[in-house]
């Protein structure tokens, strides 16, 4: 168990035995801890792994942020210019390590929180953690991450499939797939980028199974990052953004209908509000146009060693990589509190606590068009302000 102690210059208004507990030492948890410390509130980060930024360390090798360096920094520390405009996975990890050190955050690793509930007297929160620990806090910030638990659809015949089947969370690079036939399932940003990585890494054949054609954007056009537009339209009416995005999309990206990727028939921002973030092009468009990535129908089942597609065809790839997303897995932690919606996501986030659970905050469970890290930084400040208002010494 590793502990990073805070510097003594901040005096905490919380009782020594009731700090604010932050669950998760990823970007959201670290940012919230810093924002609380900056307001003089003792914040203790609990992390189940042995290092900060654990989920970032598990991402595939070629990953770079699709958001700019300047709009991806957490509060209180800029990202170094040497990281470049699109920061790599390894540099994100270095930044998170430096962030925790620079701000002397109080982090306890090797502790997994299993359940959060109100204290008996109703004045705080009781955390049940690994090793039989019971920790009492004045408030709790849940920052366990958007990409928490890999989700693989329960395709018929999946359990009996004898070929290689792995979730994208287990993919690192293309080397194991050189000269092999690979099917990637799912055309979110992860699936699209893995498909390109496989092509560039020497896979013999790469197919990409698509159920719903996505909106595809250039990551940057004439130096203007797509994220900048996302920030500008973040608060505009959905219908207006949909109308504006249509012509822009047709001008900036080619029609791939002949290659199996028609333009979506629903608006870009409408899809975002439903949880479908546009695919930022990092080589997919060219790979599809040149036939290096073949678009096929969605996967329906596995049967007799083959993959059955939605159009009735059957294919026999050497490996199947399921880029089928993640679940938040919050049910065991807070599901009994009535704070999750039908999809298992918090009903509120940022500086708002559920009405039935005052002092319980969530960060990092939305996927905004303006950039996840940017919104985490904003949420951290909102959470810190809300917490200080609820503490007795700030009333």
Q: What is the pLDDT of residues 181-209, one digit of tens each?
A: 999 999 999 999 999 999 999 999 999 99
In angstroms, the CA 148 to CA 124 distance is 26
Which tokens sit at 74? 């957490």
Average pLDDT, the chain: 92
Conformational region of residue 352, where left means phi above 0, alpha means psi within -120 to 50, and beta covers everything else: beta
DSSP 223: T
Whether domain 3-148+328-394 has CATH 3.50.50.60: the reply is yes
Q: Name the pLDDT band for 248 (thresholds 50, 70, 90).
A: confident
Residue 318, pLDDT > 90, answer yes
Segment 167-176 mean pLDDT: 97
The confidence score (pLDDT) of residue 14 equals 53
Q: Which helix (H) or strand (E) holds 4?
A: strand 3-4
Residue 16, pLDDT > 80, answer no
Domain boundaries, the chain: 3-148+328-394, 151-322
- For residue 73, give every residue at least 6 positions away whose Cβ sits within 8 Å of its Cβ, in sequence order, or none: 79, 95, 373, 377
Residue 6, pLDDT > 60, answer no
Say yes or no: do domains 3-148+328-394 and 151-322 share a fold: yes
Residue 68, pLDDT > 70, answer yes
Percent of the chain whose pLDDT exceeds 70: 95
The confidence score (pLDDT) of residue 277 equals 85
What's the pTM?
Answer: 0.90
CA distances from 76 to 37, 102, 380, 381 (A): 11, 9, 11, 11
17/395: higher pLDDT: 17
Whether domain 151-322 has CATH 3.50.50.60: the reply is yes
Decide: 12 and 19 in contact? Cβ < 8 Å.
yes
The candidate with the shortest Cα–Cα distance to 77, out of 112, 57, 101, 93, is: 101
* Beta strands across the sheet bearing 299-303: 299-303, 306-309, 314-315
Torsion of CA 213, 215, 216, 221, to 10 degrees: 160
Decide: 138 and 360 in contact? Cβ < 8 Å.
no
In angstroms, the CA 299 to CA 207 distance is 12
Decide: 28 and 34 in contact? Cβ < 8 Å.
no
Percent of the chain whose pLDDT exceeds 90: 77
């Amino acid at each position: 168990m590793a502990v990073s102690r805070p510097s003594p210059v901040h005096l905490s208004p919380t009782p020594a035995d009731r700090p604010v507990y932050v669950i998760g030492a990823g970007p959201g948890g670290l940012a919230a801890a810093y924002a609380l410390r900056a307001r003089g509130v003792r914040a203790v980060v609990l992390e189940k792994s042995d290092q900060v930024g654990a989920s970032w360390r598990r991402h595939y090798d070629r990953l770079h942020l699709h958001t700019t360096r300047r709009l991806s920094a957490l509060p209180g520390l800029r990202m170094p210019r040497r990281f470049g405009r699109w920061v790599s996975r390894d540099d994100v990890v270095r930044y998170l390590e430096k962030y925790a050190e620079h701000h002397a955050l109080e982090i306890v690793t090797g502790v997994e929180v299993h359940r959060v509930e109100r204290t008996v007297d109703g004045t705080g929160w009781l955390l049940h953690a690994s090793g039989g620990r019971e920790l009492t806090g004045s408030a709790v910030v849940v920052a366990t991450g958007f990409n928490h638990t890999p989700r693989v659809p329960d395709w018929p015949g999946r359990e009996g499939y004898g070929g290689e089947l792995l979730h994208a969370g287990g993919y690192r690079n293309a080397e194991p797939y050189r000269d092999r036939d690979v099917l990637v399932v799912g055309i979110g940003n992860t699936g699209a980028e893995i498909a390109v990585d496989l092509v560039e890494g020497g896979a013999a054949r790469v197919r990409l199974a698509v159920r719903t054609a996505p909106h595809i954007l250039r990551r940057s056009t004439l130096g203007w990052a797509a994220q900048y537009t996302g920030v500008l339209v973040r608060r505009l009416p959905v219908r207006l953004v949909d109308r504006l995005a249509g012509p822009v999309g047709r001008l900036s990206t080619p029609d791939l209908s002949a290659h199996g990727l028609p333009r979506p028939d629903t608006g870009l921002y409408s899809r975002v509000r439903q949880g479908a973030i546009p695919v930022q092009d990092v080589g997919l468009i060219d790979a599809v146009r040149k036939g290096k990535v073949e678009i096929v129908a969605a996967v329906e089942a596995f049967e007799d060693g083959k993959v059955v597609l939605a159009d009735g065809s059957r294919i026999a790839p050497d490996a199947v990589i399921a880029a089928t997303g993640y679940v938040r897995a919050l049910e065991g932690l807070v599901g009994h509190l009535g704070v999750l919606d039908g999809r298992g996501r918090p009903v509120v986030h940022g500086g708002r606590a559920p009405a039935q659970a005052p002092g319980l905050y969530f960060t990092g469970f939305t996927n905004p068009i303006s950039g996840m890290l940017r919104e985490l930084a904003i949420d951290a400040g909102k959470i810190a302000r809300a917490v200080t208002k609820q503490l007795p010494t700030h009333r």
